[in-house]
Structure 1
Amino acid sequence: MAAPVDRSAVDEIRLVALLVGLGGLAWRTWAAAGGWFYSDDFLLTQTAREQGFTLEMLLTPNDSQLMPLGMALAWLVTTADPFGWWAAALSLVVMQAGVLLSGWWMLRTVFGERWLLVPPLVLLAFCPMAIDTSLWWAAALNGLPAQTAFFVLVTAMVQWSRSRRWRWALLALGAFGLAVASGPRGALVALPVGLLVVFLLTPPGSAWSLPLRVLRHHWPVVALPALLGVGYLVLYRRTTPAPLDADAETEVLTVLWTMLTGTIGPSLLGGPWTWDVIADPISTPGAPTAVGAAATLGLAVAVGWWVVRGGRRRRVAAAILVVQLAATLVAIAFGRALQLGTGAALNTRYYPDVLVVLVLVLALVTMEPSAPRRAAEPRAAVLLRTVRGRLVAAGAVAFTVSCVISIVSYTLPWHAGFPARSFVTTAGSSLTSTPGPIADLEVPPLVQLPIHFPRNLPSQLLAPYGDAVDARLSGNDLRVLDDQGSSRPAGIRLGSRATDGPDEDCGWLVADEPITIEIDRDPLPVFPWTAINYAAGGRGAAVVTFDDREPFPIDVLQGPHTWFVNGDGAYSYLTIEMITPGLTMCVDAVSAGEPAAVP
């Protein structure tokens, strides 16, 4: 007969869990409130604004991520307030609250209300292992729904194994659907949850009959998500082009070492405490290698101990952890590491699935799964009189303090005026106060990466500002956005300048006959801009031809002006021909090269 439940102890456990959860949500709310959009976030807002809420938009991959749920949320945020961070921050907080609530629900449902639930809950609430998903909106749209889906899926699987009620099978199907809707990494939840079902939730028997026993006892919660997963993979293959060179190579062992000693190991100690800013505000762990190596060694020893002496439950926990780490290694080594190198393993945006699996593994190695309220728990005052209770409480407090130090040091660059934030906000106010056309030039790399061209052009990056943005590849008296985002008059630098024209008072006279101007081709960039300074007696039209290519139309304005154009490549001469009969203009200077703000 089960021991009676001490309601006071249960209330204390719930109170501590509530305080831990509120603490985790509090720092996430503080972090999100002071943040702003960065890199992939702009890609999401651009797609949502351009396409609207359509099936095509939902199935548009974002940087090789097929993430219909994230695209839907991006549309909601962009519709609510373009470049309004409050809406994105609110979505961050709501998603993170969902992770914490679903994590607590899984722990208390699977293991009962026990004091040993507190350590894995503290790990979930404060560990900085996947901290990118708390501030970087695009990373959160992938990672946070998948974390929630993992906890709900585990809970549904356990409840199905206990009751065989179809509502749990349907919930498992919905949870897996949520996981894959968040992105391709979401499908990886099938690996740890599958091991849990096969080796802990399936009745024991001979090894050869294991597949049959799994299907006999769990076919609804296995077959239905499997069909959904296959459907997602087919859709992914049809909609998402390969983002990387399949022939590229990466050092798998180096990625593994970096992953364990650089990111996972230090975070298990509450680290890394210091961060290296690699692309402001993005930071990677900066803990000493020796610290990460020691933590990794400790984790390896623990896993070995669970396998050798831990019993069936701890062996399954070890297998779940090893399989998850292997899946993460493969995803990084044959994914972003092909593009970014082995340092990709330091990006915390790739570890939200590892964190939630560690929460489950820690619970499995410390507690037997059981129905809620299975047995009595001691009061906190009684527990803290024991050496073990004091050690656990002290360890939880020390880990939390250590995590907070790491969290604050990571968050501060996001709250400062980092380049993308400063550039976009300055550009919005500058284009409003100084309206006029601007040259459609690539923004600085720290604002948007060049690999995203042409989505790093103002015409696309700043599209949420609407009509305030008039970015062109040709036009009269264009302005440029400087490195800070301010609109300023444009000039040409780092290129060639034509020799003065034959007419001392006019330069080159363009009237009834076309004129040809030579220019030194060697210093020109691959795709130079050309600036033609002219003065016309009226308004009309002309054309300019670079070498013998297709002509570009010029909208000639009365008076002195400068016409800019981004041609289709370097050239050796240009020809200007007047189209409007009787109109003349003087060209006093022609220069070609890179446009820049006039000093």
Structure 2
Amino acid sequence: MTSVPLLDSPSPAEMSSRPGRLALSGPAVLLVAACLIVAQLVLRGWVAGAGFFYWDDFLLIGRVSSQPVLSTELLFTSHDGHVMPLAFVLTWLVTEVAPLNWTAAVLALMALQLLASLAVLRLIVVLVGVRARMLGPLAFYLFVPLTVPAFAWWSAAVNALPLQIALAWVSADAVRLVRTGRRGYAVSGAVVFAVALLFFEKSVVVLPVAFAVAVLAAHVSGGSVRAAARRGAALWTAAGAVLLAWAACFLLVIERPRGLSAPEHPGSLWSRALSDGLVPALFGGPWRWERWQPATPWADPPSVLVALSWLVLILFVAWTMRTRRRVVAVWACAAGYAVLTIAPVVLLRDGPSTAGLLLQSMRYFADFAVIATVALALIALAPGRHGPSPVIGSNEQQVLAGAPLTHARTVGGSARIEAGRDSRVRQPAGIAAIVLFLASSVYSTITFTRSWEPSPARTYVTGVRAALPGVADAPLLPQEVPWNVLNPLAFPENMTDRVFAPIATPTTFALSTPRLRMITDEGAVVDAQVWWNRAIVAGPEPRCGHRVRGTAGANLPLDGPMQIRDWTAQVNYNAERDGRIALSFEGETETIADVRAGLNTVYIRLLGGGDTLRIRSLDERQSLCIGAGPVGVTAHTR
């Protein structure tokens, strides 16, 4: 049989006869792709380096530092509605290697981003082949600002990046399985799918996305969708079994997230999600970000950018439908996924202004960058309406399998001439569009980073890290970290003994101490005192106060009631011998404290409320006198 030219790869003679057309060989295309990935990593490295641990990061770090890494209590805990054992394992690994060290976290983020970029590159090559037209979809994924907010925040990144990796990898495996029939791709896809589910429950979308990519690749190539679905059955079956096993475990441990409610204004939320978040980001927006500490930045695009983005999107969709065959299904699936991505945030994360800001923060949409990249690659794969027409003959089996045709017969010389003319116009326009997109995206990334960079947590944690070695003479009482580091609603995870567990020694924090000090909002350790919110009243025994003999215990009346919360009691005592005492609000959990012989003071952290303290000795031979003293909050003395 006589060989005929490739549909998308004209002969060198044809290329040289087309003035103004840029020709790149396969190695040159891969070199440009590698340069783009390196450029993305450099930019993302700067973004990550400007940040620091933030909010939920301290919850994850505190948990992995206080519980065994292989315990079910850690791995299968429900974290704000998420079950993500491998995210905890990765956090534990980074914490073990370099506790509360942001540089180590940045390196881990960069490694995940590299894996995601390589997985997307593999998917594009599988769909389009190694040719210049693959660079557009690749550049889109690498630099679209849609993925930046989720990348910069550790807690979001350990969910978002494994999902992006799995979407790209499993989809590529699905296409390769359909085209080649090799069962190894089914095994590879199922394994990656299982790993992704253990990072983030939203990875359930990976299987339907892989199925859609495989059948769409066959559809736009002119093949049989039914045959593609049938040839990928090994992957659908293996991944389906993984999904069922995971779902059984997930439903056993998941807890209802706090604050779940029905949205009050769903139409407004949808509008903000699309017009202020998703659509401008697809074209390199939003250019401008707003932030109210301690919230994350959210998109605040100019009105002109919103209008221009919608206009360009509509024109681009219309143009591709007019010039490419069989792309309507591609656009329909991409739009459906966008709805699927936005809906959970609109429906499940509502609150006064909360859902709108979450939608505009865009971290929940990072995976849509992979979907949009796939859509662009499939559109590039689709044959043009005015180009050479494929003829199913010797290549029929290849088309049914969903692979691009390798041979075709032209309809006539006029079609080839017309295609050449269109190419001379489209290629410079495409290059210009990519350059404008890259400039817009880089600008949006820079403005995001400037908004994200101010970090009260960085100042606080850096100060505490420097100060802790100087407190070895007496332990610190646990206290709440500043509200702009971690919200009090996170109690007890917002206590200093939890947050700084990775860098603390066993004696750094305790519930009692002979020397009262506290950590300021700047991270300095200073001497402190107890406010007289309430007082232990003077006891009845002259020159002693309240007498405590042996383990029988005694009541210490207060001069008024106290509400339930954390309090510090200043216990002024005179003890006959060294020993230990137990102190509590009446009926509440006791706190154990050491006492020394003679006239001394011990400061004890208590949780509870009421108008009476209960004290007892743990030594039958002990006798103490307890004097008056304050019970209240702790404040520094300077």
Letter of the 1:452 partner, please give it. A
Unaligned runs of 5+ residues in structure 2 are: 13-22, 384-402, 409-419
430-439 vs 510-519, which moves further: 510-519
Q: CA shift at 1:403, angstroms?
A: 1.5
Determine the C-alpha separation between the residues in 2 that align with 1:571 and 1:552: 16
- Kindly provide the CA deviation profile for residues 67-91 of structure 1, in whole angstroms up to 9, marking residues without a partner as x: 2332332232122222233332221
One-letter code aligned to 2:477: A
- Look up the match of 1:337: 350
Does residue 1:47 correspond to 2:50, yes or no? no
1:527 equivalent to 2:565? Answer yes
Q: For residue 174 of structure 1, what is the aligned residue in structure 2?
A: 191
State how many pairs are aligned: 584
Equivalent position amino acid for 1:527 in 2: R
1:331-361 deviation per Cα after TM superposition (whole angstroms, max 9, x unaligned): 2123333694332212232112111111111
Matched, 1:69 2:86: yes
Structure 1 residue 270: deviation in Å?
1.5
Q: Measure, in 1, the Cα distance between the counterparts of 2:214 and 2:434.
A: 30
Contact in 2 for aligned 1:111/1:368 (Cα 8 Å): no
Among residues 295, 306, 319, which one is paired with 2:332 in the alignment?
319
Q: Which amino acid aligns with 2:430?
A: V
Tell me the residue number matched to 1:10: 26
CA separation in 2, counterparts of 1:526 and 1:245? 23
In the other structure, the counterpart of 1:379 is none
Q: Do residues 421 (structure 1) and 458 (structure 2) align?
A: yes
Amino acid at match of 1:422: T
Find the aligned partners of 1:400 and 1:469 in 2 and give their Cα distance: 52
> Does 2:446 correspond to 1:408?
yes
Q: How does 1:137-148 map to 2 (within 5 A)?
A: 137-148=154-165
2:282 corresponding residue in structure 1: 268
Q: Per-residue deviation at 1:414?
A: 5.0
Q: Do the aligned partners of 2:588 and 2:608 also contact (CA within 8 Å) in 1? A: no
On the 8 A contact 2:123/2:171 being kept in 1, the answer is yes
Of residues 567-576 and 438-447 in structure 1, the stretch that sits farther from structure 2 once superposed is 567-576
CA drift at 1:15? 3.1
Distance 2:135 2:421 in 1: 13
Specify the alignment match of 1:378 in structure 2: none
Are residues 1:448 and 2:486 paired? yes
Asked if 2 retains the 8 angstrom alpha-carbon contact of 1:313 and 1:364, the reply is: no
Q: 1:38 corresponds to which residue? A: 54
Residue of 518, 522, 531 corresponding to 2:558: 518
Question: Where do residues 157-196 of structure 1 align in structure 2 (5 Å cutoff)?
Answer: 157-196=174-213
Contact 2:555–2:612 at 8 Å: present in 1 too? no
Tell me, in whole angstroms, the C-alpha distance in 2 between the residues paired with 1:547 and 1:79.
40
- Judge conservation of contact 1:273–1:405 (CA < 8 Å) in 2: yes
1:82, 1:465 within 8 Å by CA — same for their partners in 2? Answer: yes
The answer to whether residue 610 in structure 2 is matched with residue 571 in structure 1 is yes
Question: What's 2:98 paired with?
Answer: 81
Aligned partners of 1:109 and 1:372 also within 8 Å? no
CA distance change for structure 1 residues 577 and 12 in 2, over 3 Å: closer, same or farther? Answer: closer
- 8 Å Cα contact 2:127/2:381 also seen in 1: no
**Counterpart AA for 1:459:** D
> Closer, same or farther in 2 for the Cα pair 1:548/1:122, shift >3 Å?
closer
Which residue type is aligned with residue 334 of structure 2?
A: L
Q: Structure 2 vs 1, CA of residues 165 and 550 (structure 1 numbering), >3 Å: closer, same or farther?
A: closer
Distance 2:188 2:588 in 1: 63
Aligned match of 1:223 in 233, 237, 241?
237
Residue segments in structure 1 that go unaligned for 5+ positions in a row: 376-381
Q: 1:465-480 counterparts in 2 under 5 A? A: 465-467=503-505, 470-480=508-518
Using the alignment, how far apart are the partners of 2:180 and 2:189 within structure 1? 14
- Structure 1 residue 584 displacement after superposition: 4.8
Residue 482 of structure 1 is matched in structure 2 by 520
More moved, 87-96 vs 5-14: 5-14
- TM-score, structure 2 normalization: 0.81
Distance 1:511 1:233, change over 3 A: closer
SS of 1:465's equivalent?
A: coil
- 1:580 positional shift: 6.8
Q: Bigger shift: 64-73 or 54-63?
A: 54-63
TM-score by length of 1: 0.86
Tell me how far apart the structure 2 counterparts of residues 110 and 402 of structure 1 sit (CA, whole Å): 27
Matched, 1:395 2:399: no
Task: Choose the corresponding residue for 1:253, options 254, 267, 271.
Answer: 267
Secondary structure of the 2:632 match is strand
Aligned equivalents of 1:267 and 1:65: distance in 2? 26
The answer to whether residue 468 in structure 2 is matched with residue 431 in structure 1 is: yes
Indicate conservation of the 8 Å contact 2:534/2:558, yes or no.
no
Report deviation, 1:301: 5.9
For the Cα contact (< 8 Å) 2:544–2:625, is it kept in 1? no
**1:372-431 superposed Cα distances (whole Å, 9 cap, x missing partner):** 9889xxxxxx99994433322222222212222221222235555x12222222222212
Residue of structure 2 equivalent to 1:556 = 595
1:441-488, Cα deviation, whole Å (9 max, x unpaired): 221222123333221112221111141663233443332222222222
- Contact kept, 8 Å, 2:516 with 2:529, in 1: the verdict is no
Kindly state the Cα deviation for residue 66 of structure 1 after the two structures are TM-superposed.
2.2
The farther-off stretch of 191-200 and 450-459 is 191-200
Residue 257 of structure 1 aligns with an amino acid whose one-letter code is S
Contact in 2 for aligned 1:258/1:345 (Cα 8 Å): yes
**Aligned residues: percent identity?**
25
CA-to-aligned-CA distance 1:158-204 (integer Å, 9 cap, x gap): 22222222222223323322332321111112333333334543699
- Report what 2:302 is aligned to: 288
**Bigger Cα displacement from structure 2, 280-289 vs 3-12:** 3-12
Asked if structure 2 preserves the Cα contact closer than 8 Å seen for 1:127 and 1:270, the reply is: yes
In the alignment, the residues of structure 2 paired with residue 425 and residue 327 of structure 1 have an alpha-carbon distance, to the nearest angstrom, of 41
Alpha-carbon RMSD across the aligned residues, in angstroms, is: 3.6
Stretch deviating more after TM superposition (558-567 or 138-147): 558-567
Distance 1:110 1:525, change over 3 A: same
| Deviation of the 1:96 alpha carbon | 0.9
1:10-67 C-alpha deviation (Å, 9 max, x unpaired): 3443333222222111111222334332222233333333344426344444433222
- In the alignment, what sits opposite 1:461? 499
CA contact (8 A) 2:493 2:499 kept: yes
The equivalences for 1:296-307 within 5 A come to 296=310, 298-299=312-313, 302-303=316-317
Candidates 574, 577, 583, aligned match of 1:536:
574
Instruction: Answer yes or no: is the 8 Å Cα contact 1:437–1:469 preserved in 2.
Output: yes
Query: Aligned match of 1:130 in 147, 167, 173?
Result: 147
* CA distance 1:54–1:15, shift in 2 (3 Å): same
* Structure 2 CA distance for aligned equivalents of residues 577 and 356 of structure 1: 64
Q: Contact 1:250–1:334 (CA<8 Å) still a contact in 2?
A: no
